[in-house]
Amino acid sequence: DIQMIQSPSSLSASVGDRVTITCRASQDISNYLNWYQQKPGKAPKLLIYDASNLETGVPSRFSGSGSGTDFTLTISSLQPEDIATYFCQQYDNLLLTFGQGTRLEIK
């Protein structure tokens, strides 16, 4: 299985801050990586697909980058509604695997 390691596991930031979450794959996955947002008690929501493509309807303050084994999700200016858990997911092979998640809180 391809292991996905996210960091940090939790993060506290202020409104307006630039926030960066990283995800590292245990092997080269090209750009076959997604980022999801999950708010408490809600279904996960696709934010970024193919490592850097913004899903329709997602605010432009969200962006993704990276390829190979190292990937980044960036929120350019944190908003109160961005409080959630974020997780990455690879689809390089049929056995999909997910990162453990990063819990984002407002300072």
Between 17 and 92, whose beta carbon lies closer to other proteins?
Answer: 92
Alpha carbon of 105 to those of 25, 29, 70, 82: distances in Å?
25, 29, 24, 9
- The DSSP code sequence of 2-41 is --EEEE-SEEEE-TT--EEEEEEESS--TT-EEEEEE-TT
Between 82 and 89, whose beta carbon lies closer to other proteins?
Answer: 89
Contact residues: other proteins, CB under 8 A: 32, 34, 42-46, 49, 55, 87, 89, 91, 94-101
Between 22 and 76, whose beta carbon lies closer to other proteins?
Answer: 22
Between 11 and 17, whose beta carbon lies closer to other proteins?
Answer: 11
Closest approach of other proteins to the CB of residue 84, in Å: 14
Closest approach of other proteins to the CB of residue 68, in Å: 18
Closest approach of other proteins to the CB of residue 38, in Å: 9
Looking up tokens 């990937």, which residue turns up? 71
